[in-house]
Structure 1
Amino acid sequence: MRTLGQFYPVGSPLHDLDARAKILAVAVLAVGLFLVDSLIGFLVVGVALAACVAVSRVPTTVFSGFLRPVLPIVAATALFQAFFSREGRILVEWGFVEVRDEGLMLAAFLASRILLLVGAAGLLTATTSPLALADGVEDLLSPLKKLRFPVHEVAMMMSIALRFVPTLAEEAGRITRAQAARGASFSEGGLWKRARAMLPVLVPLTVGAFRRADELAEAMESRGYRGGEGRTRYREARFGPGDWLAPVLAAVVMVVAVSL
């Protein structure tokens, strides 16, 4: 199963777009989602995102894998919002728990925002290689170099973090399967018992992450990496007229969604 942050190499118009164009489009969508205040508006954004997934040729099974890990968080936050909101007309009352129409609406808004944001971020990482994504972030933040902000180092850390996400997910899966083969159960008992059952997974996973970080640091030092000073790129990305289409279309979609 593919996870958020994993690149899916396939030929598509979205893959061919400049990374900066896609980053700007996702940034426009992220800002606009906090201005949308209607379910129809969220539906418009969802349809636009589904169209982008179709154009990207990323299989729906892969795209759903980006959303699946956040579903429990979305469900928990939405239920909390629905049950403990004190605004609107009461629909269901059970003890100290009240379900109000305004709470349900806010829960739907919250769930829609999270899912659409994660979906857009997943599509960005699925259609953009980590190196291109890091270069795009570095180019967009390049004006901050005048303020002595470590732009290259921040972009490099982001690229490494994205690369480690699928690696750690695969390693966690292997450790979990190994523990299950030894009789460990991660779904039985209460919350505290299940949390204790995860310790045999978290400890070796953390140790493995530090080991990989040390190996990566040694490899970078042995190759003479000293940050962004004096570094050049093998390929220089060029922002063509067609690349402006992505952020412009994203802005149009968000204007329509906000106005509904």
Structure 2
Amino acid sequence: MTISVQPVLGSAAARLNPVAKMAAVLIQTLALLTSIDWVSAAVAVSLNLILFAWAGLSWAEFWKRTFPVWLAGLLAGLTTSLYGRVSGQTYLDIWFIHVSDGSIALGLATSLRVLAIGLPGVVLFATTDPTDLADGLAQILRLPARFVLGGLAGVRLVGLFLDDWRQLSLARRARGVADTGNWLDRLKRFAGQAFALFVLSIRRGSKLATAMEAKGFGSSSVRTWARPSQLRRGDLLIVVLAVAVAAAAIASAVAAGTWVFLLRNT
């Protein structure tokens, strides 16, 4: 599966300020981290899936970009179900594996919470241009320009690294080093190609750093920005929606009696 790193632009979500998107994701994350119940996470996931229809991603693009989050949620829930806290009726007890009512409930809550926290971040930042993000961080949050520009340059290089990996694969196949043999041979070829990409990335990073320094990006003087970054009504709307989703998730869990404030036990 080829994972795209290019932002999906042109939608309503793409026109929102990246700082407002970060605030929306942070609000939901902080709200969901206060408890580990499954009701609040399920409500947050359901509401977010409805809102994702306006993000501008097709279903194929949505599944392709969020596949790692779904996989991480599944693995986290499975691991917690096998090795989580034992309570209630026990269904399986072999060595370190203990499957019970408590571990299954905790595994479900963990899986849903990974999805509730991870999906909004992936979807919102899939519609964010890195340059717009850098403008927002520097002009609205007032982060240091050297840090922002360095991060922007690094993000821009990710797509080039993917292209370099494909070119290295084609070059090795042209020399007769194809993807054949047993798993050990494949692992050796992967390690050799990864080391070649690592060396290439260091060289490219050094050249880029020298070029940026020569063009004055490392100056300590006050920097001007070509594109102003401002917060608009739509940015306020997405923050309000994030607060509403977080409040609905917490209220649903409290009404269902599953809400457990984590700091209460610390």
TM score, norm. by length of structure 2: 0.79
- Alignment correspondent of 1:111: 111
Give yes or no for the alignment of 1:184 onto 2:182: no
Counterparts of residues 229-240 of structure 1 (less than 5 Å) = 229-240=221-232
Q: Deviations over 1:28-60 (max 9, x none)?
A: 122122135433322322233223331121122
Give yes or no for the alignment of 1:6 onto 2:6: yes
| SS of equivalent to 2:223 | coil
Distance in 2 of aligned mates of 1:253 and 1:69:
23
**Structure 2, unpaired ranges of 5+:** 253-266
Distance in 2 of aligned mates of 1:45 and 1:201:
41
Q: CA contact under 8 A between 1:18 and 1:239: conserved in structure 2?
A: yes
**Structure 1, unpaired ranges of 5+:** 143-149
Distance in 2 of aligned mates of 1:228 and 1:167:
29
Instruction: Quickly say closer, same or farther: Cα 1:248–1:34, change in 2 above 3 A.
Output: same
Give yes or no for the alignment of 1:64 onto 2:59: no
- Alignment correspondent of 2:257: none
Counterparts of residues 220-235 of structure 1 (less than 5 Å) = 220-227=212-219, 229-235=221-227
- Alignment correspondent of 1:40: 39
| SS of equivalent to 1:198 | helix
Instruction: Quickly say closer, same or farther: Cα 1:200–1:73, change in 2 above 3 A.
Output: farther
Residue 196 of structure 1, CA deviation: 4.2
Residue 130 of structure 1, CA deviation: 0.4
Instruction: Quickly say closer, same or farther: Cα 1:81–1:201, change in 2 above 3 A.
Output: farther
Output the amino acid matched with 1:9.
L
Q: CA contact under 8 A between 1:35 and 1:258: conserved in structure 2?
A: no
Counterparts of residues 143-182 of structure 1 (less than 5 Å) = 151-176=144-169, 182=177
Q: CA contact under 8 A between 2:86 and 2:99: conserved in structure 1?
A: no
Output the amino acid matched with 1:203.
F
Q: Deviations over 1:110-137 (max 9, x none)?
A: 2333333332222222222101111222
Instruction: Quickly say closer, same or farther: Cα 1:43–1:55, change in 2 above 3 A.
Output: same
| SS of equivalent to 1:43 | helix
Q: CA contact under 8 A between 1:18 and 1:243: conserved in structure 2?
A: yes
Q: CA contact under 8 A between 1:87 and 1:100: conserved in structure 2?
A: yes
| SS of equivalent to 2:224 | coil
| C-alpha RMSD of the superposition | 2.8
Distance in 1 of aligned mates of 2:38 and 2:119:
17
Distance in 1 of aligned mates of 2:68 and 2:169:
16
Distance in 1 of aligned mates of 2:33 and 2:247:
12
Instruction: Quickly say closer, same or farther: Cα 1:195–1:109, change in 2 above 3 A.
Output: farther
Distance in 1 of aligned mates of 2:103 and 2:154:
36
TM score, norm. by length of structure 1: 0.80
Residue 254 of structure 1, CA deviation: 0.4
Instruction: Quickly say closer, same or farther: Cα 1:64–1:106, change in 2 above 3 A.
Output: same
* More divergent stretch after superposition (51-60 vs 33-42): 33-42
